[in-house]
Structure 1
Amino acid sequence: MEPKLSGGGVPEEVLQSLLIASDSSSYSLEDCLKFLLESSKTDSGRSDLASKSILPYILRLLPSRHYLNLSLKVLRNLCAGEVSNQISFVEHGGSAILSDLLAEKTKTTEEDLETVRLGLQVLANVVLFGQEKRQRDVWFRFFPERFFSIAKIRRLETCDPLCMILYACFDGCSDLASQLCRISVGLTIVAETIRTSSSVGSVDDNYWLKLLVSRICVEDHCFLQLFSKLYKVVDTVLGHRDETFTSEQVFLLRMVSDIANERIGKVSIPKDTACSILGLFKQSLDVFDFASSSERSELPTGSTIVDVMGYSLVIIRDACAGGSLEELNKENKDSVDTVELLLSSGLIHLLLDLLRKLDPPTTIKRAQHQSPSSSSSSSLNPCPYRGFRRDIVSVIGNCAYRRKEVQDEIRERDGLFLMLQQCVTDDDNPFLREWGLWCVRNLLEGNLENQQVVAELEIQGSADVPKLRQIGLRVEIDPKTSRPKLVNDT
């Protein structure tokens, strides 16, 4: 007599097919699934099970809820890199089955959350590096309602595979990317994943969210729309929002800052995004009370205003990094580059004004016989965070690189001596001296007027000769004019 697998409520055809596929003499459905789970962990095992067409029977097992999570693990493994199983999943309505299944599992119990996690892993294996047809099948079954409800689950275990699915579909289909970015509910889903990751994880915890944010904010033009989704709504009826910055917005800025820094030279921050971030920087300056600033910690400081200020400034620094205007214009002579656009918004004037309002660096304070912790004037302000002065100087230095209009503007605004004062060490600004020297080098390179001004300051004793020598310059008296000039120190 042929052995029969016990499993009340499960179709007999399904039970017997699982028994045959597992080559098992066991009469337990659980044992059979465990055998299939082990077999599906290898490429050869998945290929063998694909030849036996086992996946449709696992799908038919899901609605019965018999060993649901164990069945999902088998299904997840079967779809991991095995194209024939992925195709079979779509052809046999796997997306619809999982959509109905997960709709019931976004509640509270740990078992339900595990089911959601496993279900998402199945879908991720189906769409990742898959054909457009499979990506569309999953997308149209889950967007937007299912994705939105899952995004609101505050668990990294569900957030990571959800972001993997969103990114794979976004990356593979241009019209799906448009739905995610251009339709309000699409960015709302992404905003919810950011809320989840910021509340239960860190910037580095969700690799796929970082890829998604990179595409949306750094390579596309949806930063401001996504940032706006993260304001706190204070009137759910009318949709009014509190314009105070939120921790989720800080999280997004920090992630964009990391992406921009890691990919300097590979991607350029869109011009509208850079201008939006400059606007956030100005907004944070408007609401921040410098006089009350006493704590000088590294970013993130825990103050949303200070963190928005700091990460915005760092993003602007990296957006301004790279080649000269002339080099950039070789690629597109009719294009206004990002730095030009920021400069037209008064960036240099703003930064020089900020530098003048800050306490001098601790090295200068000591030279003036002041306590490093005291202010030289009641009108001067401490740095709002550790590294603020350095970041300002780094932005100016990047903007001045082979841009004569920036070099001239700083001279015309009497900023050369101010920038020379940044070539010192400062307790609150690590690497200030290095950035200061880089900035002065860029201000003097190819600009005779600036070199003349600095040479005269040198003769007057206002500038320090050794610091100039560190950037390859020295002062000489021109025998024809009897005026000081800077020359290359060879």
Structure 2
Amino acid sequence: MAALSNSNLDISASIAGILNEKHCSEHLQVLKTFTAALRDREYRDAVQEQAFSRLLKVLTGLSDELQDASGDCEDPQTVALLLQLIAECFRAQRNSCVQSTRNQSLLRELGFIDVSLKLLSFLQTTNLENRDGKFEPLRCGIQFLGNLAVGNQMCKDDIWQLSFPNLLLQLLSAEDEKTVNYSSMVLHTCLDEAKVEQLSEPQNIQLALRVMDLCRIQPDLDWTVLIATQHFLKSSALVESMYSGMSHHERVTLLELLFAQLREEDSEECGIPPSVARFLANCFQTGCGAVLALATGSASNDEVLQEALTVISLLDVLCEMTSDHRQFMFLQDHPDLLVTTVELLEQVHAIGKASKNIFSAAQNFSSFSGDGDSSSHSPVISFKAHLIRLIGNLCHRNTNNQEKVRELEGIPLILDNCNIDSNNPFISQWAIFAIRNLLEHNKQNQQLVADLERRGPADYSALKELGFLVEERDGSLLLKPVRKDS
């Protein structure tokens, strides 16, 4: 133990020596020795406050010297050494906080957070001649903040208060991928419900939008995806603020993350609030007509295409929300959502039958064989099928909606979409699913289908071709498979 104490004193004295001498490579070695020693838990737990106080003075002095040296007459060798020394100070700070609440609190009380953040801001915003050399201290400094914040609420709150939103936005906009990754880690560590609500305020929304942009352009960056799914999507205020400030391209990314979150296993309580579902339903109702513009060949117009793709993504999310998610089944009663969906299906179906266009049924299955070029796929693949799926979901054990679809003449419309269509894989299955939900315990709808059968229209024959028929049993009509030998 005495040896450990002597080692502490020796290193502390060596650090103090850096303050009174011209910087040289020996000083870098002193700091590296301290950094290496701090990897040992016993040493970390025994480091005296004086050693950290001296380290803070060294860091402060280096920061001042770097700012002085970064003028018009900066000496590249001097700047390079200063950057190396700063990086090593940050490494020592980073190592000291590993599994040490004591050292986290001690460094916080001594003022390391403020000095470190100011230095990081300078490194990120100043055009140093040694451009690449600044990334090492940036990375190490941000790693220090991450280790400082883990499991320590007071450190999290101080880092947030001193870096939100401008510095965090600067760091997430760095040209260095690792700097962005580590900054995302710090943001994720600091976030909580109250801080997420701050992000939704107009003056702070750019930080949230930057995170979402990173989700789009760097999908392999795990921290930003975790921030979005574990924090952002749980705040209706933030989702609405982000959505209104996004381009259509960015909205698709947000909706894809929402969709993935809904598809997660054990997602019965996925954390997405009901108000987000209501907001998205309203967005779908307001903007769904944008898809119709694709029938005129407007898919070549990127803005029109992106707006249509946003509607398609909204539909996918609404379909998933109303499938096996009891917490979202209130959407069955969302004003006019069902009416909008049926009317949109009617419009799309009519446009597709009127002339050859993007909504017309097709029999080209080469693109699904594995040899086709995915870039040639239609942007509205499965759109009609998903409209029918949503209608089926909204009518599941809901008498009012069953009646509404019948009144809107939606049942013959759905039956007319039972034909195989390569632009809408599984549309036949979704049509059967929707018809089942429309007929269940609803004699008027059952009678309507029976009347269609008696009149023998082509619409209903499609069901038979798929192997289904309507059978009367105990006064009710059932949709059932046809026996193969019949």
**Are residue 389 (structure 1) and residue 384 (structure 2) matched?**
yes
Change in Cα spacing, 1:440 to 1:132, as seen in structure 2 (3 Å) is same
Partner of 1:349: 342
Measured in 2, the distance between the counterparts of 1:175 and 1:371 equals 51
Measured in 2, the distance between the counterparts of 1:190 and 1:169 equals 14
| Corresponding residue SS for 1:449 | helix
Partner of 1:118: 140
Measured in 2, the distance between the counterparts of 1:94 and 1:176 equals 22
Change in Cα spacing, 1:214 to 1:385, as seen in structure 2 (3 Å) is farther
Partner of 1:62: 59
Partner of 1:406: 401
For residues 387-466 of structure 1, the aligned pairs below 5 Å read: 387-459=382-454, 460=456, 462-463=460-461, 464-465=463-464
Q: Is the Cα–Cα contact under 8 Å of residues 317 and 391 in structure 1 kept in the other structure? A: yes
Change in Cα spacing, 1:55 to 1:212, as seen in structure 2 (3 Å) is farther
Q: Is the Cα–Cα contact under 8 Å of residues 224 and 276 in structure 1 kept in the other structure? A: yes
Measured in 2, the distance between the counterparts of 1:438 and 1:105 equals 60
Specify the code of the residue in structure 2 equivalent to 1:124: G
Specify the code of the residue in structure 1 equivalent to 2:14: Q
- Note the C-alpha offset of 1:383: 6.3
Measured in 2, the distance between the counterparts of 1:111 and 1:157 equals 14
| Corresponding residue SS for 2:478 | strand
- TM-score scaled by length of structure 1: 0.71
Specify the code of the residue in structure 2 equivalent to 1:225: S
Q: Pick the aligned partner of 2:107 from 71, 74, 89.
A: 89
**Are residue 486 (structure 1) and residue 484 (structure 2) matched?**
no
Q: Pick the aligned partner of 2:295 from 291, 297, 303.
A: 291
Change in Cα spacing, 1:444 to 1:120, as seen in structure 2 (3 Å) is farther
What percent identity do the matched residue pairs reach?
Answer: 20
| Corresponding residue SS for 1:485 | strand
Q: Pick the aligned partner of 1:104 from 108, 112, 122.
A: 122
Measured in 1, the distance between the counterparts of 2:175 and 2:248 equals 17
Q: Pick the aligned partner of 2:330 from 322, 329, 337.
A: 337
Partner of 2:69: none
| Corresponding residue SS for 2:268 | coil
Q: Is the Cα–Cα contact under 8 Å of residues 87 and 138 in structure 2 kept in the other structure? A: no
Measured in 1, the distance between the counterparts of 2:157 and 2:298 equals 53
For residues 235-250 of structure 1, the aligned pairs below 5 Å read: 245-250=247-252
Partner of 1:3: none
Q: 5+ unaligned residues in a row in structure 2: which ranges?
A: 1-9, 18-24, 63-81, 354-359, 365-376
1:349-394 deviations in whole A, cap 9, x for unaligned? 344334433536xxxxxxx9x9747xxxxxxxx9642222232222
Specify the code of the residue in structure 2 equivalent to 1:132: Q
Specify the code of the residue in structure 2 equivalent to 1:430: P
Q: 5+ unaligned residues in a row in structure 1: which ranges?
A: 1-11, 20-26, 231-244, 330-335, 361-367, 374-381
Partner of 1:193: 211
The farther-off stretch of 93-102 and 210-219 is 210-219
| Corresponding residue SS for 1:441 | helix
User: Alignment RMSD, CA only?
Assistant: 3.9
Partner of 1:363: none
- Note the C-alpha offset of 1:147: 2.2
1:138-175 deviations in whole A, cap 9, x for unaligned? 1111123322333333554333333333333332xx54
Partner of 2:236: 220
Q: Is the Cα–Cα contact under 8 Å of residues 331 and 394 in structure 2 kept in the other structure? A: no
Q: How many residues align?
A: 416
Measured in 2, the distance between the counterparts of 1:137 and 1:93 equals 10
Q: Is the Cα–Cα contact under 8 Å of residues 390 and 435 in structure 1 kept in the other structure? A: yes
Measured in 2, the distance between the counterparts of 1:410 and 1:149 equals 52
Specify which structure has the higher proportion of helix.
2
For residues 196-345 of structure 1, the aligned pairs below 5 Å read: 196-198=214-216, 200-202=217-219, 204-212=220-228, 214-230=230-246, 245-262=247-264, 264-267=267-270, 269-282=272-285, 284-288=287-291, 289-293=293-297, 303-322=305-324, 337-341=330-334, 343=336
Change in Cα spacing, 1:145 to 1:29, as seen in structure 2 (3 Å) is same
Q: Pick the aligned partner of 2:191 from 170, 173, 188.
A: 170
